[in-house]
Amino acid sequence: MRKTTIIVAAIAILAIALCASCDEEEDLGGTGGGSGSDSDTDSDTDSDSDTDSDTDTDSDTDTDSDSDADSDTDADEGAACKLSCGEAADCLPESPDASHDLDNWSCDGGYCSWLGCQSHEECGDGMANPENWGCSPDTGTGGIPVCARRCDQASECAANAGTSGAYDEDNWECSTAGFCKSLGCLTTAECETSHPSQTGIECLLSPTLEIDICKIPCGSAADCSSEGAAYDADNWDCTEGVCYYWGCHDSAECHDTPSHGPDWDCVNP
């Protein structure tokens, strides 16, 4: 069994299938690090301290698998580091939770693909109130089912219903299938209210999550970088304050990234 990084950034996610009516509000805080997606280092939508569904949804550990690795030449824009495999068991993280164990992975074309959650029971596993969680077919990105909080109305999804800021009722919707889906921030003023100590914070696009989130704008590609050769400054573009991940350039970068290693290749989209 080889260790793979299950990332959110994005996540699911990530931020995409998140809890409602939770004990506390967390900063929209994702890391651009092992996912190879979006350096939203300041924020990500997660209103529940018990779970991070964006990690599930953003299984940037790598859902595309119909491409060939490019080890010797520069890759195309959008290329990503992917874990190579001979069977699904090779894709498992060291200590998988119920939504990341064997039935949640496939080995397609020699690379690992996360299939998403497979049952409501998986999503309730380990939760204080498992009946409040389920496998949502319509709140993740890329059509991948993700664990999300159940709801009848948007107010149940809000971290602090009835208050102003970036996480109240107007920042959520209750999906057709009855699951909480973050709409992201609506204005910079909301972000300033929710994060008063973060000078310069704005409501900006998260390319990974496909919504606007509260974060500090980048000034250059260096502001987007994180640990590892596949995620340093030459793998990013900073455009109008938003970090865009260009992709890995070759497999050597994936090998030289601590969260990956020699079993990872740079695979074209």
Dihedral Cα 82, 88, 91, 97, nearest 10 deg: 130
Query: Could you report the per-residue pLDDT of 89-111, keeping only the tens digit for each?
Result: 999 999 999 999 999 999 999 99
Could you list the residue range(s) of the whole structural domain that residue 223 is in? 53-71+79-263
135 in any annotated domain: yes
- Residue 10 and residue 29: Cα distance in Å, rounded? 10
Q: What is the pLDDT of residue 196?
A: 95
35 in any annotated domain: no
221 in any annotated domain: yes
Number of structural domains in the chain: 1
Angle at CA of residue 29, ends 25 and 32, nearest 5° = 165
Query: Could you report the per-residue pLDDT of 230-260, keeping only the tens digit for each?
Result: 999 999 999 999 999 999 999 999 999 999 9
- Residue 142 and residue 204: Cα distance in Å, rounded? 21
36 in any annotated domain: no
3 in any annotated domain: no
Residue type, 194: S
Q: What is the pLDDT of residue 188?
A: 97
Length of the chain: 269
32 in any annotated domain: no
47 in any annotated domain: no
Q: How distant is the alpha carbon of residue 188 from its chain centre?
A: 22
Q: What is the pLDDT of residue 141?
A: 85
64 in any annotated domain: yes
pTM for this prediction: 0.70
